[in-house]
Amino acid sequence: MATTSKINVVERTVLGSASSRRARKAGNVPAIVYGLHKEPKHFEINAKELDKVLSKDVSIISLVSSNGAEINALIKDVQYNYLAAQTTHVDFLEIDMNKEIVASIAVYPHGHSIGLLQGGVLDQYVHEIQVSCLPADLPVSITADVSALELNASLQLKDVKLPANVKAVGDEDQVIFHVGLPKVKVETEKSTEAAAAEGAEGEKKAEGAEGEKKAEGAEAKAAPGKTAAPAKDKKE
């Protein structure tokens, strides 16, 4: 089930980079909400209040303006300044609670894969999947049971169990999790196989060279030796 969090917003009447800088200096974060074929709306949100919401597992944000009007939305994008350690801008997508939406949700592994006991490691290829459902049914995240995965086995999108009324969107054969040998071990095995192949090739070449030498020796023994021509008698 979806979780909703309310947050107070103040409409921005002056836009532009200078206005955004003033908002940030005042402890607010510029934001925009768009969607449902409506004109975009620009707001300011208290930075501390926004950070509290962003730190929670929330599916839907209810933007509450000073006149009491509410807009239900999803977080579409968050811009963050890592040097200043502050959120600098947020994009919201307005939604209709009575219409299905397509949204991305996080997927996490659950369980201890059998393949780990066979010397493998669990790799996660996809960290978010897209789902389609009504906003009220939108889960914050889902967990996928990977306990049955043996070595060299994969868990695909079609194998992920979703809540009722929630459908996966995308290629059903997309690999989410895979249990394989550690990279170092695979490279070591390949090196060992390559060395063994080189050794076998070297032995064949050595055997071939030795055979050639023996053949040459045998030919040398079989060839008749040259005899000196008889000396002519000297006339006295």
In this prediction, residue 226 has a pLDDT band, given cuts at 50, 70 and 90, of very low
With 0.85 as the threshold, say if the pTM is over it: no
Q: What tokens were used for 6?
A: 């309310």
Tell me: the pLDDT tens digits for 1-19? 678 899 999 999 899 999 9
Task: Assign residue 32 the CATH number of its domain.
Answer: 2.40.240.10
Q: What tokens were used for 147?
A: 């306990």
Structural domain span for residue 109: 101-181
Burial 135-160 (b: 16+ CB within 10 A, else e): bebbbeebebebeebebebbbebebb
Per DSSP, 93 falls in state E
The end-to-end CA distance of the chain, in Å, is: 133
CA distance 141 to 123: 19
Tell me: the pLDDT tens digits for 65-77? 988 999 999 999 9
Which residues touch 124 (CB under 8 Å, ≥6 apart)? Answer: 109, 176, 177
**Residue of 202 and 67 predicted with greater confidence:** 67
Query: Mean per-residue pLDDT for 193-222?
Result: 58
CA distance 75 to 140: 12
Q: Does the structure show a pLDDT above 60 at 186?
A: no
Q: Give yes or no: residues 190 and 175 share one domain.
A: no
Task: Assign residue 168 the CATH number of its domain.
Answer: 2.170.120.20
225 is a domain residue: no
**Residue of 126 and 228 predicted with greater confidence:** 126
229 is a domain residue: no
